[in-house]
Chains A and B, each alone.
Chain A
Amino acid sequence: EAGVAQSPRYKIIEKRQSVAFWCNPISGHATLYWYQQILGQGPKLLIQFQNNGVVDDSQLPKDRFSAERLKGVDSTLKIQPAKLEDSAVYLCASSWGDREEGYTFGSGTRLTVV
């Protein structure tokens, strides 16, 4: 089975610019997650989708971050405008929803804001 696909792998932007990340989860996985991983830290949940509905976006900085999963399959995460502290790896993960199986993660997008 194909893994979780993310693009781009790397992105360098200037502060105040906009950026978008794309994720295609494993086929059939109803639940999709976006995590932010700052260097030296564990992943922090930004938003969780169940199909195309938002389950949890309590940690998403909504003044600058937005995410959508329109058809319940792939998803995009956008930052507008970016700040220096947004420099991190953005990880997408998906799951069937059963806790035993844990999550399958993509390789992430490394964002550097200069």
Chain B
Amino acid sequence: GEDVEQSLFLSVREGDSSVINCTYTDSSSTYLYWYKQEPGAGLQLLTYIFSNMDMKQDQRLTVLLNKKDKHLSLRIADTQTGDSAIYFCAETLTRNTGGFKTIFGAGTRLFVKA
């Protein structure tokens, strides 16, 4: 099946770490992504991980992939007020007819308290 699930809200204090979790259902996923959406804007690609990796680090961002449990997480170190946004998890699947398609979760709204 095709489904990406995320918790809806997360609230953290400025300077703390944020961890946003995601589960996906299709074991054939090849790439998994994290996008950020600020108010009134489109989605911005933050980072991605290929399915044969279990961790990827990019500055303050750490992505962990547990393929056995179909679980993806995004850790933001030293969270800042500017990190307040909606974070979308997405997976890319192979189409039955060829090519690929990307499925998005409903998004996790991150609130950062000063």
Query: Which A residues fall within an 8 A CB radius of B?
Result: 4, 40-45, 48, 50, 55-56, 91, 93, 99-108
Contacts and interface: CB of A to CB of B under 8 A. Distances in A.
B41 A103 contact: no
B42 A102 contact: no
A103 B102 contact: yes
Nearest to A106: B42
Interface size class of B (residues with CB under 8 A): 20 to 34
SS class, residues of chain B in contact with chain A:
strand
Interface stretch (B29-37, B58-66, B70-78): B29-37
Contacts of B35: 102, 105
Contacts of B97: 56
Nearest to B30: A99
A99 to B, nearest CB: 5
